[in-house]
Chains A and B, each alone.
Chain A
Amino acid sequence: MIELTDISYGYDGGELFSRISMEIGPGSFHFLTGPSGAGKTTLLRLCYMDLMPSGGRISVFGREVGAMSRDDIAAARRRIGVVHQDCRFLDHLPVIENIALPLEVAARRPEPENLEALLAWVGLSARAQALPPELSGGERQRAALARAVIMSPEVIIADEPTGNIDWEMSERLLELLIELNRMGRAVLIATHDLNLIRAAKARVSARVLRIRDRRLQAAGAEL
């Protein structure tokens, strides 16, 4: 579904990656790890077409990204649910409207029952009318996850989804992502939290990739 072939990317003349290749297939579960500044977020942004590589080729749902129009990119993004590290919302809209926003921009009518069920699934039924700045870190992460899955995407990409929340909440979030994977969604999570990776590997068949020295490697047996 998402295929990166010999990707290079650099900032201000310096090269962050060199000739990285990766494939996110249907139903797969990947962790992306590496030290801070290694380029985990950049690699995810390349996957959801927020950045364009300086070299190599990215194919999303069978189409080369370089040949896509802006409308094509928007259509492809509707098939990818993203949980951003900083959980960006429209702060003037209540949580329920933020969660339903992907449907709204796709001119699809939100079904109230489905929204209710989704809010219950992420444990935010009581916070539906709260504004995003009123949410705690964990609530923001769960709201972001609900927004990411409302379009029933084929791929879910999460960037440090447990970065600002306690372990109990991290486990709950991980459980939701595993549940989605069992429903056939491909999951790609960038994290530096090794405990989270270990907890996931105990429950699901996950592949762990590590960015090191501008290259992407399969993680060792310690994980």
Chain B
Amino acid sequence: MTGGRRLKGAADRVVPPSGFTARLTQFTAAAMAFLAVFALALSLAAGRLAERWSSELARTATVRISAPAGQMEAQTEAVVRVLEATPGVARVRVLSAADEQALLEPWLGPGLSLESLPVPQLVEIIESAEGFDATGLRLRLQAEAPGAVLDDHSRWRQPLVAAAARLRMLGLVSALLIAAATGAMITLAADSALAANREVIRVLRLIGARDSYIIRAFVHRFTLRTLGGALLGTLLGMSAVLLLPGPGGGGFLTGLQPQGAEWFWYLLIPPVSALVAFLATRLAALRALRGIT
């Protein structure tokens, strides 16, 4: 070949290299992917939490018996009888004085004597899979043990589950906003590159290039840059998530690490970023070509 060099024919070679814009696009794509990892981790962890609270709390209930000392034992026995005869109740456990002391210890301190306090008797109910009829059970308890109150946790369970579900939604909305911001950023970068290369586009059109050829050249360039940046950002984000304390700490922040098939969602970030870049650049190129014959 002339001059000893091969002729390179890749379409994207017609777009002049632009070092600064390329690095800026890659950096922004990497930063967005990094943030997307955390938004996704937050959303997935909130989802897990909502599911766990929902399933765990839904399977337990408590009967609280407040009665004069002389009637406490009789009412407790009556409650246990009613519960054992109730369909949907898998197990009944009367909490011992030691159990109740352990429950109160975090608030009232150790060495507490329950005899000096009017502490109600607690009975724990474990539901079977089909669950029980709470309204019917309340009526029967009222008849058999007037001091018994059924607490199926629904009062405080529902707001908690709703809060976790909203947190999950917020995470998803954040991920969508990050994708939209990535699209906007790529559009701006592509618009700028297309404006800077207007003369290149004119030359290509005048020598017979179809719009599809010109669009492909720019789309290829921006899609690859974004994919490269998003891969790096996702890798860094996942490494950061993995460095967080693992599950077992008991708190929400220790449950951010992905579990099982959740890894799949993180792997979607680079291709989704590339798809957003593809569409944004394509639209920008179509707009730019409208003004060139």
Contacts and interface: CB of A to CB of B under 8 A. Distances in A.
Given A90-B16, A105-B213, A50 B208 contact: no
A50 B292 CA distance: 9
B200 A90 contact: yes
Interface in A72-91: 73-75, 77-78, 82, 84, 88-91
Interface stretch (B7-15, B54-62, B101-109): B7-15
A113 B281 CA distance: 37
Contacts of B1: 112
Interface string A31-67: 0000000000000000011111000000000000000
Contacts of A78: 207-208
A104 interface: yes
Query: Which of B2, B3, B11, B207 gathers the greatest number of chain A CB atoms within 10 Å?
Result: B207
A7 interface: no
Interface residues of B, number: 27
Contact of A105 (B16, B199, B202, B204): B204
B3 A105 contact: no
B211 A71 contact: yes
Query: Which of B2, B3, B16 gathers the greatest number of chain A CB atoms within 10 Å?
Result: B2
Given A91-B16, A112-B7, A82 B206 contact: yes
Given A74-B205, A105-B208, A112-B2, A90 B14 contact: yes
B84 to A, nearest CB: 81
A116 B199 CA distance: 28
A125 B2 CA distance: 7
B25 to A, nearest CB: 18
A218 B16 CA distance: 44
B155 interface: no
Interface in A132-158: 147, 151
Interface of A: 48-52, 70-71, 73-75, 77-78, 82, 84, 88-94, 96-97, 100-102, 104-106, 109-110, 112, 115-116, 119, 125, 128-129, 147, 151
B112 interface: no
Contacts of A102: 207-208
Nearest to A75: B208
Interface in B115-147: none
Contacts of A52: 293
Nearest to A130: B3
A41 to B, nearest CB: 13
Given A97-B7, A102-B208, A51 B14 contact: no
B293 A50 contact: yes
B3 A96 contact: yes
Given A78-B208, A90-B203, A101 B14 contact: yes
Contacts of B13: 93, 97
A74 B209 contact: yes
